[in-house]
Amino acid sequence: MRLVLLGAPGAGKGTQAATLSKHFGVPHVATGDIFRAHQREGTELGLLAKSYMEKGLLVPDEITVRMLLERISQPDCARGYVLDGFPRTVSQAKALDEALGQRGESIDRAVYVRVSTEELMRRLGGRWICRQCQAPYHEVNSPPKVPGRCDRCGGELYQRSDDQPEAIEKRLAVYLSDTAPVIDYYRAQSKLVEVNSERSIEEVGKETVAALA
């Protein structure tokens, strides 16, 4: 099963991707994780990606596509994968289709995790991340037991620069102009599955799995 997760920043793509990964027994491939791995290693691609992400901008296709194709070519992706954060533009979707077509493969389904703009602003504005283990928290929905400290490892919690109000507005504007057309791209291929993410994680997960059965 080769799946694509679509939706605005803060829609819950990562959470649902993890659920689908476990259900279908395929890797959860998040472009954010790929970017961070390159950044930790200090690669040229990693440093370039970081400069764009910190400004709340999309990383250029050339960088993203190179990283992504390298990742899904690894042995653990042979039976499929759940792509989280890619493709973000129609040009990326076409580049992915072309690359997979050369290997006799294709994306099976694209899951659109749908959330209102008001809910997205609320979710993103309260998000905090652990500096050490990257565990996510939310001021309202899932606060840490000790303010400012991670429940798992005790690491310091911080708010990413792209979760600041001005960056959030820019990220949503970029999404609407560049990423939303990808939804129509997969709808035209009859591969789109839509789920309402303004419910509990469990409810959304069950509906998504059922829709892909």
Give 164's DSSP letter: S
The pLDDT of 116-129, averaged and rounded, is 83
To the query of whether residue 152 is one of the catalytic residues in this protein, the response is: no
Percentage of the residues of the chain whose pLDDT score is greater than 70: 100
Q: Is residue 35 part of a domain?
A: yes
CATH code for the domain in which residue 141 is found? 3.40.50.300
Q: Is residue 172 part of a domain?
A: yes
Q: Specify the pLDDT at position 72.
A: 92
**Residue 36 catalytic?**
no
Which of 36, 160, 191, 206 is flagged as catalytic? 160
Is 54 within the bounds of a domain? yes
Q: What are phi and psi of 27, to 5 degrees?
A: -65, 145
Confirm if 49 and 35 have CB atoms less than 8 A apart.
yes
pLDDT at position 36 is 83
Burial label, 31 (beta-carbon count in 10 A; 0-12, 13-18, 19+):
buried
- Kind of pairing between the strands at 81-84 and 136-138: unpaired
Mean pLDDT over all residues of the chain? 88
Share of the chain above pLDDT 90, in %: 39
Residue at 16 is within a domain:
yes
**Residue 212 is assigned to a structural domain of this protein:** no
Lowest mean pLDDT among 72-81, 148-157, 197-206: 197-206
Only one residue has tokens 């077509």, namely: 101
Task: Tell me if residue 13 is catalytic.
Answer: yes
> Residue 60 sits in which domain range?
2-199
Task: Give the pLDDT of residue 160.
Answer: 82
- Residue of 48 and 109 predicted with greater confidence: 109
> How much is the pLDDT for 200?
83
Give the total number of structural domains in the chain: 1
Residue with tokens 């039976």: 79
Residue from 71, 109, 123, 171 carrying the catalytic annotation: 171
> Which tens digit of pLDDT belongs to each residue from 139-181?
878 899 999 999 999 999 998 887 777 888 888 888 888 888 9
Q: Label residue 62 exposed, middle or buried (CB < 10 Å: 0-12, 13-18, 19+).
A: exposed
21-74: pLDDT as tens digits: 999 999 999 888 888 888 888 888 888 888 887 888 877 888 888 888 889 999
Of these residues, 2, 13, 71, 109, which one is catalytic? 13
- In the structure, what pLDDT confidence band is assigned to residue 112 with cuts at 50, 70 and 90? very high
Q: Which of 2, 71, 88, 109 is catalytic?
A: 88
- pLDDT value of residue 62: 80
